[in-house]
A and B are shown apart, each in its own frame.
Chain A
């Protein structure tokens, strides 16, 4: 069975501080991992995917198969980063399994 765990419901950081949103997964095969973001009053949208290995809006995420983790990181948080972040996994047939989400709150 596929499972995604996001242990923090809320993460509050100061502007300019580093951010790390945790995500752990369980899957027996080779999964594809994603981070989706939902800004206030906007639809859920893809932030990044592990196969792209790119940085989007300053965020990066590295797939660690040994620790089965896909943590999302940003060195310096900005106010506009405040949003709900979902880690997701897909194994086959495009079916995504989402974590329960972490609300990132960036304060001045």
Chain B
């Protein structure tokens, strides 16, 4: 198993553009998590899903952020419109229980 897969690994975009980050969890894991990592705030949980259903999106910073999980093998995190303060590394993680397995992250830079 290749582990959690995220794409793209790096994204550079201009303010106002739409950004879509993608995640493929480990097969058989019922939970999927999206995190944002910044120097100032560390790792923040944005949203998580259980069996493709969003359970807690209280960490989503604002309406510009949305996440979907159309099936057990795919999830997206979308930012529209993007702003420079969204620049961060975004991690996806999946879990069968209490242990989470992280993807390599997507480094997003919004100019």
Contact = CB atoms under 8 A, between A and B. Distances in A.
B90 interface: no
B41 A94 contact: no
Contacts of A83: none
Interface stretch (A11-19, A61-69, A71-79, A96-104): A96-104
B95 A101 contact: no
- Say which size band chain A's interface belongs to: 10 to 19
Q: B interface, by DSSP: helix, strand, loop or mixed?
A: strand
A56 interface: no
Interface residues of B, number: 26
A81 interface: no
A46 B45 CA distance: 17
A57 interface: no
B52 to A, nearest CB: 15
Contacts of B4: 43
A17 B91 CA distance: 33
A94 B102 contact: no
Interface of B: 3-4, 31, 33, 35, 41-45, 48, 50, 55-56, 91, 93, 95, 97-105
